[in-house]
Chains A and B, each alone.
Chain A
Amino acid sequence: MAVIAVEDSNFDAELAKNPKVIVKFYADWCGSCKLFAPKYKRLSNDERYPGIVFLEVNAENNPEARKKANVNNLPTFATFQNGVLVETLCSSKEEAVVEALEKLQ
């Protein structure tokens, strides 16, 4: 499944319509975010996570979404189940993101 770019305007709607969601918060100035982009795309296509929707939010332009995931560093990954925040993870390590995905499964 492709990574879907969302903004403040449609963030809640995406959480509401998808029971299991992971969100990557990034910024264009963040080198670690840029280096993680191909890994996130690869994970979104990984058949181990068929029920999880992968979103990404530019943290610089979307303060409301940022607040809902308690973002205070980048990159941040947040998982949501039925619209409720499960976990916020600030890491550039793929293993940590995989662990969060496994918990969400």
Chain B
Amino acid sequence: MKIPAIKLLVENYLPSDLKQAENDLIEGEGLKIDVEGEDEGEQLTHVIAALWIMEEMNAKNIEFKEALREYTKKVRESIN
């Protein structure tokens, strides 16, 4: 998982674009947007992260950095 890749998605796409990308990756179809990642699994992780962060930013009216902090905390808690 690479934070710059997630940031690019948040800055450049709408949630609907990302939901489409999520669906395309799950269905094994070609992506219509640029998503960085070493493989489909990492690409999907970036898309899911960007969607989660966007929702958090909107729901709590917070900036990207703060939502990103919440996201990385959530990830760390799953593997520590």
Contacts and interface: CB of A to CB of B under 8 A. Distances in A.
A60 interface: yes
B78 A32 contact: no
Contacts of B47: 31
Secondary structure at the A interface, as helix, strand, loop or mixed, is: loop
Interface residues of B, number: 21
Interface residues of A, number: 18
Interface stretch (B11-19, B37-45, B61-69): B37-45
B4 to A, nearest CB: 17
B49 interface: yes
B23 to A, nearest CB: 11
Interface in A24-80: 27-36, 59-60, 66, 71-74
